Chain A
Amino acid sequence: MKIIVSIKQVPVRDSQLRIDASGHWIQENDLSFEINEPDAYALEEGLQLKEKHGGEVIALCLGPARASQTIREALAKGADRAIHIEEENLTSFDTLGIAKLLAKAAESEKPDLILTGLQSDDLGSGQTGVVMAEILGLPSATIIMAVETAGSGIRVKRELEDGWFQNVEMPLPAVLTIQSGINKLRYATLMGIKKAKTKEIKRLRPAELGVTAAPAAIIERVYLPQRTKQTQILEGSAKEAAAKLVEKLKFEVRVI
């Protein structure tokens, strides 16, 4: 099975975010970056499918030069090779533009399966995989919690709301968007890290893929959310704050 996994590099969780001078995005120069969480699960799923059925896993990433760090980590975990579409200014593309770039790069590989995360931690548009599928004319399924082969196609387990699930059967090639928690993530081994250095990373530019930025949705402004609720912040040392909270729970909320 030839599997493409799209991985995005995003600021690490718990980053202190600051809005940049243009007001259109965040200041990135002082942040650290890591793989988008669901993409790590998508990569793991790709690796496990390959271990079961043979084939190849190709990591596909659109991002600036710094993203090569995340690509190397994917190779160290076991991806066979990678495609890096290099673009310093991702914010000039909207989700349709991003999906077009990723779809174009994936198309020439003729994969059996394309896996993406269900949502990016930064933009959170939650749709790049589905849009890729539409561009490529492939069937898709989202929020996937299990993948198995079934005849010449696959059977996948979709997560629905409130703890419900649904199995769906579909032919290959197909695009799946993977939910966090579908599997247990592996760590890169020392051997893997060593091997990664010799693996191929194909570099492409958006212009080579014939996609130009023509956004149908434009971020006008980024800002801090306005607080509407009056939260009573209990101040003081841990002990003082804890004592105040117990007061509230005892005399106002009356649960102690």
Chain B
Amino acid sequence: MSGVLVIMEQRGGAWNRMSWETLAAGQQLAAQTGQTASTAVAGQGIGALAGELARKKLERVYAVDHALLGAYTADGYTAALEQLIRKASPSLVLFPHTYQVRDFAPKLATRFGQVLISDTIGFRVDGGAPVFARQLFQGKLNADVKPGGAGPYFASVQAGAFRADQLQDGSAQVENFTPDLSADEIRAKPLDPFRESARAVDLTAAEIIVSVGRGIKEKDNIPIVEELAKALGAELAASRPICDSGWLPMERQVGSSGQTVSPKVYLAVGISGAIQHLVGMKGAKTIVAINKDSNAPIFEVADYGIVGDLFEVVPALVEEVKKAKG
């Protein structure tokens, strides 16, 4: 058992960007543990994708190709990758922590009597073996987690934790792997992906966004931040719980399951800064956080912070903005 195997993600021939970050993590892990890195991509007719991977510094690229892998299913992917892992016998399997990986990787790890160490943000090497860092309590604390047992170990990598531009080019040998799959072992029938009716609000065009989180406490308080948005000429956005509760419409949600925005200024009001929110707004040029908890993870990405009660700060801010605008 040796080597790091990185599982890439594609849908309809297009890469999930997080795969490249994970591939970079895999190269670094391999280098630091004195192993080689290989990668695998699964699907149907994926020759071109495998060819692209062959230009990276890797030992091998496995093209896991099968008609039954054309549309993603947890059963199909788990069976195919189990066979690949038994054959390739890596010591560590890495995945990008995507929604698809959440759907099948825990199953796959269970087949090997292992636990997927999920959503990791970094690693260190201790006695030749990796120890992974991951977040607890939605980013309020971190933990170092050490894989145990015989291996292979399984870990997934959080969006933005590694940089795709650190990926090393080179050349790798492509190996076609045809798993043994039958239609009757795939129990779920996936239908075509879709989007809900067209978005009435396009947050991506906004220069300034005032975004509100659960710190606002109740629906009746929403006008407090609306005022601020109005004074600044900003769009109003929200974290997921605000939309879940119906306090603002879904189309104003920012984050991994909402919109991804990169305005000039993003003001996060009463938002804790969970990773699923951060991925949607980290690209903003300037981030301002208003939060009463100085340890809130949002301050990790904020350029300017006010530690205080939003019910005092936001009205004061409205006053000051109005004054400044004359």
The answer to the question of A70 belonging to the interface, with a C-beta cut-off of 8 Å to chain B, is no
Q: Is the CB of A161 within 8 A of B320?
A: no
The answer to the question of A215 belonging to the interface, with a C-beta cut-off of 8 Å to chain B, is yes
CB neighbours of A256 from chain B (8 A): 232, 321, 324-325
Chain A positions 36 through 48: 1 when the CB is less than 8 Å from some CB of chain B, otherwise 0: 0000000000000
Q: Taking the nearest CB of chain A, how far is it from the CB of B72, in angstroms?
A: 9
Judged by DSSP, the binding face of B is: mixed
CB neighbours of B140 from chain A (8 A): 17, 225
In-complex Cβ contact of B320 among A123, A125, A219, A242 (8 A):
A242
Report how far A53 CA is from B167 CA in the complex, Å: 53
Give how many B residues have a beta carbon under 8 Å from the other chain's beta carbons. 93
Report how far A232 CA is from B301 CA in the complex, Å: 11
Most buried by A among B115, B148, B208: B115
Q: Identify the stretch in B23-31, B46-54, B183-191, B219-227 within 8 Å (CB) of chain A at 4 or more residues.
A: B183-191
In-complex Cβ contact of B305 among A142, A169, A219, A232 (8 A):
A232
In-complex Cβ contact of B143 among A161, A164, A222, A239 (8 A):
A222
In-complex Cβ contact of A245 among B294, B299, B304 (8 A):
B304
Q: Is the CB of B306 within 8 A of A180?
A: no
Q: A163-B259, A255-B265 are in contact. Are A168 and B115 (CB under 8 A)?
A: no
Q: A164-B195, A168-B190 are in contact. Are A225 and B142 (CB under 8 A)?
A: yes
Q: A243-B320, A246-B317 are in contact. Are A233 and B191 (CB under 8 A)?
A: no
The answer to the question of B32 belonging to the interface, with a C-beta cut-off of 8 Å to chain A, is no
Q: Is the CB of A166 within 8 A of B192?
A: yes
In-complex Cβ contact of B106 among A122, A127, A160 (8 A):
A127
Q: A143-B102, A168-B189 are in contact. Are A238 and B313 (CB under 8 A)?
A: yes
CB neighbours of B111 from chain A (8 A): 134
Report how far A220 CA is from B147 CA in the complex, Å: 10
Chain A 213-229 residues near chain B, CB threshold 8 A: 215-225, 227-229
Q: A169-B188, A253-B286 are in contact. Are A221 and B139 (CB under 8 A)?
A: no
The answer to the question of B131 belonging to the interface, with a C-beta cut-off of 8 Å to chain A, is yes
CB neighbours of B134 from chain A (8 A): 124
Chain A 107-124 residues near chain B, CB threshold 8 A: 118, 121-124
Q: Is the CB of A169 within 8 A of B191?
A: yes
CB neighbours of A75 from chain B (8 A): none
Report how far A26 CA is from B241 CA in the complex, Å: 25
Report how far A14 CA is from B272 CA in the complex, Å: 9
CB neighbours of B190 from chain A (8 A): 166-168
Q: Taking the nearest CB of chain B, how far is it from the CB of A146, in angstroms?
A: 12
In-complex Cβ contact of B244 among A168, A180, A215 (8 A):
A180
In-complex Cβ contact of B144 among A26, A219, A233 (8 A):
A219
Q: Is the CB of A163 within 8 A of B258?
A: yes
Q: Taking the nearest CB of chain A, how far is it from the CB of B145, in angstroms?
A: 5
Measuring CB to CB, which residues of chain B are less than 8 angstroms from any residue of chain A? 74-75, 98-99, 102-107, 109-111, 113-119, 131, 134-149, 187-196, 199, 207-208, 214, 232, 240-241, 243-244, 246, 256-260, 264-265, 285-286, 288-289, 293-295, 297, 299-309, 312-313, 316-317, 319-321, 323-325
Instruction: In the A-B complex, list the 8 residue pairs whose CB atoms are closest, starting with the nearest.
Output: A181-B244, A127-B106, A238-B312, A242-B316, A139-B187, A130-B106, A246-B320, A242-B317
Question: What are 13 contact pairs spanning A and B, CB under 8 A?
Answer: A122-B136, A123-B136, A127-B116, A139-B74, A161-B98, A162-B257, A170-B188, A223-B144, A224-B141, A229-B302, A233-B305, A250-B324, A255-B207
